[in-house]
Amino acid sequence: MNYIGSKLSLLSFIQNSIFEVAGTTNEIFCDLFAGTGIVGRHFKKLGYSIVSNDLQYYSYVLNRHYIGNSQNLAFSNFPAGKIFDILNNATPKKGFIFNNYAFGSGSNRLYFSDSNAIKCDSIRLLIEELHSNNSISDNEYFFLLTSLLESIDKHANTASVYAAFLKKLKKSAQKDFYVAPAETIISHKPQLVFNQDANKLIREIKADILYLDPPYNERQYASNYHLLETIAKYDSPVLIGKTGLRDYKNQKSEYCRKQSAVHAFADIIRNANAKYIFLSYNNEGLISFDEIRYIMSNKGKYGYFEQKYNRFKADKHREYSADSTTEYIHWVKCE
Ligand SMILES: C[S@@+](CC[C@H](N)C(=O)[O-])C[C@H]1O[C@@H](n2cnc3c(N)ncnc32)[C@H](O)[C@@H]1O
């Protein structure tokens, strides 16, 4: 998934930095701003127990599957290998997504083609029905929801995020979408997934490696990914404005406002119970380099790594002049 602040292309930088400072023998890796879950997934594959968390429900869904599901799922109520055929051939139904985010319903919004919106509704409704009549387990439910979110996201008619839709259907949005199975990462270690404010959760958990990747600018994830949230929850929210935003006052991140970001960051570091803390942040973030160094140094021995990084696609046309930023990994060995 193309995601603001995704660490997909920085995985080796993150792994090398962590191994250099903390070695390879740690067991519990906490990823408290998990987003797509790509960092937790990487460390789960390396054999760690992951504690994953994010404020957004769509992110919880993704991580509930990628981190929480560790065995291939049987779908024992269905003929072997048939569940995705059943979903892809679900009886067409016009639901919340078609009615509010496709042009054919008269919504005046063009986030999806009419046929993809109807298909998304049909599949989403079927997954809910199968879960509520106990034809699928909780694990299977989150696996199917993750597969739907990942598949439909590739056909969204947006420049990259859901803050606005394009005026004409772009090529990938014109193509019919099919739900394809999401990857399942096999593991025999315990894995935990939460959907909380990281500053609350920090008070209840203990980590060997605490990895923090909070938002670094004012762009709230709740408004940039509101459609994924609605597909995940399918809770028919009241919508506002031209872009059909759902209310997100309870999901506004303190890390997206200069006034509160430093305070929230100092609070999470102060309350961390970890052997090592690693923070991904870039040189254009709301919290300054010196503020980070000061706050983290109070916790123990501090250091940092840096790497040049190509800017997120959607940001290239914005107000920035440079095409690359410097990505830092700040670390502290806690005392
Ligand atoms: C930079 S992104 C993380 C990207 C992730 N590492 C990846 O590679 O996909 C920041 C994430 O923090 C989440 N977030 C923001 N404030 C939060 C908070 N107070 N508690 C938990 N998650 C939060 C956002 O929803 C977003 O998914």
Whole-number Å distance, alpha carbon 225 to ligand 1 midpoint, is 12
CA–CA distance, 26 with 34 (Å, rounded to integer): 19
Q: What order of strands is seen across the sheet that includes strand 192-194?
A: 192-194, 49-53, 28-31, 207-212, 274-282, 324-334, 300-310
Burial level of 333, CB count in 10 A (0-12/13-18/19+)? middle
Residue 7 Cβ inside 6 Å of ligand 1? The answer reads yes
Whole-number Å distance, alpha carbon 261 to ligand 1 midpoint, is 13
Instruction: Please provide the DSSP assignment of 138-184 as one string.
Output: HHHHHHHHHHHHHHHHTT--SSSSTTS--SS--HHHHSPP---PPP-
Per-residue pLDDT 10s for the chain (335 aa) are 999 999 999 999 999 999 999 999 999 999 999 999 999 999 999 999 999 999 999 999 999 999 999 999 999 999 989 999 999 999 999 999 999 999 999 999 999 999 999 999 999 999 999 999 999 999 999 999 999 999 999 999 999 999 999 999 999 999 999 999 999 999 999 999 999 999 999 999 999 999 999 999 999 999 999 999 999 999 999 999 999 999 999 999 999 999 999 999 999 999 999 999 999 999 999 999 999 999 999 999 999 999 988 765 555 555 555 678 899 999 999 99
Cα–Cα distance list, 251 to 181, 201, 208, 248 (Å) = 29, 15, 28, 5
Nearest atom, ligand 1, residue 222 CA: 25
228 token code pair:
């994924």
CA–CA distance, 128 with 41 (Å, rounded to integer): 26
Nearest atom, ligand 1, residue 198 CA: 20
Whole-number Å distance, alpha carbon 135 to ligand 1 midpoint, is 33
Cβ distance 120 to 231 under 8 Å?
yes
Q: What is the DSSP letter of 112?
A: B
Nearest atom, ligand 1, residue 5 CA: 1
Probe target for ligand 1 pocket from 253, 260, 282, with the most ligand atoms within 8 Å of CB: 253
| Closest by CA position to 277, among listed 200, 194, 209 | 209
Q: Are strands 192-194 and 49-53 parallel, antiparallel or unpaired?
A: parallel
- The DSSP H or E segment spanning 200 is helix 198-201
Whole-number Å distance, alpha carbon 35 to ligand 1 midpoint, is 5
Residue 214 Cβ inside 6 Å of ligand 1? The answer reads yes
Whole-number Å distance, alpha carbon 199 to ligand 1 midpoint, is 12
The number of residues making up the chain comes to 335
Probe target for ligand 1 pocket from 6, 15, 33, with the most ligand atoms within 8 Å of CB: 33
Kindly report the protein residue whose alpha carbon is nearest to atom 26 of ligand 1: 35
Could you tell me the domains of the chain?
1-71+188-215+253-335 (3.40.50.150), 74-183 (no CATH)
